[in-house]
Amino acid sequence: MLVDDNPERAQLVEERLWDCGYEVVSVIPSATGLLYQIEQHSPDVVLIDLESPDRDVLESLAIVNHHNPRPVVMFTQEEDPEYINQAVNAGISTYLVGGINPEHVKPVIDVAIAQFRSFQALRDQLNSAKIQLEDRKLVEQAKGLLMAYQKLSEEDAHKLLNKLAMDNNQRLPDVAKTVLATLSPKGRGSKK
């Protein structure tokens, strides 16, 4: 069973788990109804987003196991700090339900950790691509303004921006932002 409020990531992890021969009995976005879901599906393993507020709910099931027929225990049999570290950094926590052998579960966790990580990497890549694109746009706009107001060639405008960046010890896009704020009609209007 998978508890994750990020539907894209949940789908990736679910597909990968099926590919690896595991049966995903339920995928839920939040643990509203978590207790009910566990009773309904009796999963062997619950994989849950580390940042889910419902982890305390899940852990409480382990503690009150004399009331609840489906105890949930965190994967700590190994007491391997490095492994736990990896899982926490990947953003996943794992709970075993019932008397399943932890050795059989490790591959499931490995798959989940790998998928969580690659999802994170994908998102980081997308973010940095987005930032790069925005940066380039800013620089182009600043160049355009410099060419219009200072009657510079494109090459000279670019050189000027570079020089400003060097002199002020700033990144090129940051200089571009300053230039835009001072030179753009809106920026000039608001200054007056």
Among residue numbers 97 through 156, which ones bind another protein (CB under 8 A)? Answer: none
- Number of C-beta neighbours around residue 93 at 10 A: 23
Beta bridge partners of 92: 49
Tokens of 35: 């207790």
Q: Pick from 111, 90, 124, 121: which is nearest to 14 by CA?
A: 111
- The reply to whether 84 sits near another protein by the rule CB under 8 A is yes
Which one of residues 12, 25, 62, 180 is an interface residue with another protein (CB under 8 A)?
Answer: 62
Of 54 and 156, which CB lies nearer to another protein in the complex structure?
A: 54
Backbone angles phi, psi at 31, to 5 degrees: -85, 20
Which one of residues 19, 23, 81, 189 is an interface residue with another protein (CB under 8 A)?
Answer: 81
Q: Token pair 């996943």 is at which residue?
A: 92
Query: Are 3 and 49 within 8 A, CB to CB?
Result: yes
- The reply to whether 180 sits near another protein by the rule CB under 8 A is no
Among residue numbers 16 through 35, which ones bind another protein (CB under 8 A)? Answer: 32, 35
Question: Smallest gap, in angstroms, from Cβ of residue 75 to another protein?
Answer: 9
Q: Which residues bind another protein (CB under 8 A)?
A: 32, 35, 50-57, 59-60, 62-64, 66-67, 74, 76, 79, 81, 84-85, 88-89, 93
